């Protein structure tokens, strides 16, 4: 089992690509990566209440944008596929040893989701996927329970290859 947490910027871009809203490199990349992950049978996406609240905020803004652009339907096939593979985990606060630059406090909910998901799934590794370069300058977060969380910046080809190696 492979535990993955999607940062809201990855989810939003993938959904924008599904609806043809942007068409830039990042939205295409987000869509391709998320659809490939959905196809893998051994992957689950995890969220806690904090992550779910962030997702909801971004989805509501995206739906509003679709409505303003008169794009219908305002539902997302990709989101339905993600939800089928999604597991909600309790909101817990964990301590981490960050390799590299520290993570902004507002984004610790992603690490907490990943760690709780890894503990519940009894796996040693979890992945947080993002495009945010300003938030994740570190590469790994570890803790005393033997779990390593890999912070994958999807803009970086080396990091995408690391993800690919780990999930295949």
Q: Quick check: 109 and 54 in contact, CB under 8 A?
A: yes
End-to-end Cα separation, the chain, in angstroms: 11
**What's the pLDDT score for residue 6?**
94
Question: What confidence score (pLDDT) does residue 86 get?
Answer: 95
The reported pTM is 0.87
Cα–Cα distance list, 76 to 11, 15, 37, 79, 158 (Å): 11, 7, 17, 5, 30
CB atoms < 10 A from the CB of 33, how many? 20
Q: Distance between CA atoms of 116 and 121, rounded to whole angstroms?
A: 8
Q: Which two tokens stand for residue 165?
A: 């190696």
Tokens matching residue 144 = 């005393």
- Reported as type and span, the H/E element at residue 141 is strand 140-142
36 vs 101: CA distance, rounded Å: 30
In angstroms, the CA 10 to CA 13 distance is 5
pLDDT at 141: 67
* pLDDT reported for residue 81: 92
Residue 102: what pLDDT? 58
pLDDT at 83: 92
Q: What is the pLDDT of residue 93?
A: 80
The pLDDT tens digits of the residues spanning 45-90 come to 999 999 999 999 989 988 888 888 887 776 789 999 999 999 999 9
The reported pLDDT for the residue numbered 90 is 92
Tens of pLDDT along the chain (168 residues) come to 999 999 999 999 999 999 888 778 889 999 999 999 999 989 999 999 999 999 999 899 888 888 888 877 767 899 999 999 999 999 888 776 666 665 555 667 888 898 899 989 999 889 999 887 655 555 676 666 788 888 888 988 998 898 888 877
* Helix 77-84 and helix 25-39, axial crossing angle in degrees, nearest 10: 40
- Residue 80 phi/psi, 5-degree rounding, is -60, -40
């Amino acid at each position: 089992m492979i535990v993955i947490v999607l940062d809201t910027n990855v989810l939003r871009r993938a959904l924008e690509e599904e609806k043809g809203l942007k068409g830039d490199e990042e939205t295409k990349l987000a869509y391709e990566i998320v659809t490939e992950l959905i196809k893998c049978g051994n992957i689950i996406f995890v969220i806690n209440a904090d992550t779910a609240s962030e997702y909801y905020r971004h989805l509501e803004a995206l739906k509003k944008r679709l409505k303003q652009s008169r794009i219908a339907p305002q539902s997302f096939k990709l989101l339905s596929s993600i939800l089928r593979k999604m597991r909600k985990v309790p909101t817990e606060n964990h301590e981490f040893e960050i390799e590299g630059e520290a993570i902004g406090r507002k984004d610790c909910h992603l690490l907490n989701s990943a760690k709780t998901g890894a503990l519940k799934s009894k796996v040693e590794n979890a992945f947080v996927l993002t495009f945010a370069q300003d938030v994740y300058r570190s590469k790994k977060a570890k803790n005393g329970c033997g779990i390593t969380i890999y912070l994958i910046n999807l803009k970086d080809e080396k990091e995408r290859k690391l993800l690919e190696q780990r999930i295949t």
